[in-house]
Amino acid sequence: MTPDNIRSKKLPLFADLGIAVAALVISAALVLGTGIGNWVLVVFLGAVFYLAGLYLAASRVEGRRAAKNKIWRAMIYSACILAILPLASVVWTLLSKGVGRLDGDFFGTSMANIGARDANGGAYHAIIGTLEQVGIAALMAVPVGVLGAIYLVEYGRGKFALTVRFFVDVMTGIPSIVAGLFVLSFWVLIVSPWFNDGVPRFSGFAASLALTVLMLPTIVRSTEEMLRLVPGPLREGAYALGVPQWKTILKVVLPTALPGIVTGVMLSIARAAGETAPVLLVAGGAAAINMDPFAGNQSSLSLFVYQQAGDASRFAPDRAWTAALTLVSLVLILTIAAKLLARRNRLS
């Protein structure tokens, strides 16, 4: 260590703030004075000037090594802020534009007999459709996905396990409209006529099948990764006590990995709840309330948002924003409830 690298002085906080203010002022004067850009370029050049000024000031006071540390820390904080800004912007936009129709009429009525000049109309039918379709899809996808992941981690060996893992990876990237076309060609056009006197029928259950196809790979991959993170000594200790493998998985492995499994399940549910193409293709959408997911057209919140966003009525955008806020709130409530349940039942 040389004397230049051994520094006890620290650059005070007000110096950092002064450098930041001076960098923004210089950037604004340069950009706005010459008219070469707007506030985005002001912020970008201000950040560049701030980093340069911070390095010069910190290297004079604390040394080059500490100056480099300050620069990297500032860049990390800046990247964190840049990552948070889009999320904060989305949340603020949803809250500011979605509160316009947060009333009883929106949550208690449908769009049946609502014309372009009617200010009323709600998303009750879409909320019911989303809850039924996503709920049925979760009932089908979660057990199959978790059991498939258990097989891949605990039992899967050889070419068959590799084949299953390969197809799961392939299914992860398929577009949602492909899943909708698959269910349309198989269930709606081939299977549903057997139960409807030879006539194909749209239904919410068909949308649930398409959502199941989309949820399965996410659940399998996330559950597989969580199960692999369970420490091996936990399994070995159970085996040493004579506990059979199936009971070790049920009583030790799954409770240990439960918080991560719940996170993967909720990610898949959030994706399914926001899908529009499968519902449009196989459920058809409806303006009236349909409580039966096995017969007749049915809507969903994502499809309702899509339809209202493209409607010519001046009242439609408010309905679309409120429906989007409702959809995000439903996913948030389900996620919090699932997290609390997983925390209560996990292995301590």
Task: Quote the tokens at residue 94.
Answer: 């949803």
Per-residue pLDDT of the chain (348 residues; tens, 9 = 90+): 455 555 467 778 788 888 889 998 998 898 888 888 788 888 888 888 988 888 888 888 888 888 888 888 888 988 888 888 888 888 999 999 998 888 888 999 999 888 888 888 889 999 999 999 999 999 999 999 999 999 999 988 888 889 988 999 888 888 889 999 999 999 999 998 998 888 888 999 999 999 999 999 999 999 999 999 999 888 889 888 888 999 999 989 998 898 889 889 998 998 899 899 989 999 988 888 999 999 889 999 999 999 998 888 888 999 999 999 999 999 888 888 887 877 765 555
Closest CA to 298 of 310, 287, 313: 287
Query: 202, 187 in Cβ contact below 8 A?
Result: no
Residues facing 284 on adjacent strands: 298
Q: How far is CA 47 from the centre of its chain?
A: 30
SS3 50: helix
Q: Given phi > 0 = left and psi -120 to 50 = alpha, else beta, which region is 121? A: left
* The predicted structure's pLDDT at residue 117: 83
> In whole angstroms, what is the distance from residue 4 CA to residue 331 CA?
55
- Alpha-carbon Rg for the chain in angstroms: 27
pLDDT of residue 86: 86
Write down the pLDDT at residue 296. Answer: 87
What tokens were used for 336?
């919090």
> What 3-state class would DSSP assign to 284?
strand
- Taking the model in full, what pTM does it have? 0.81
Alpha-carbon gap, residue 15 to 149, rounded angstroms: 54
CB 300, CB 207: distance < 8 Å: yes
User: Is residue 117 classed exposed, middle or buried when 0-12, 13-18 and 19+ CB atoms within 10 A define those classes?
Assistant: exposed
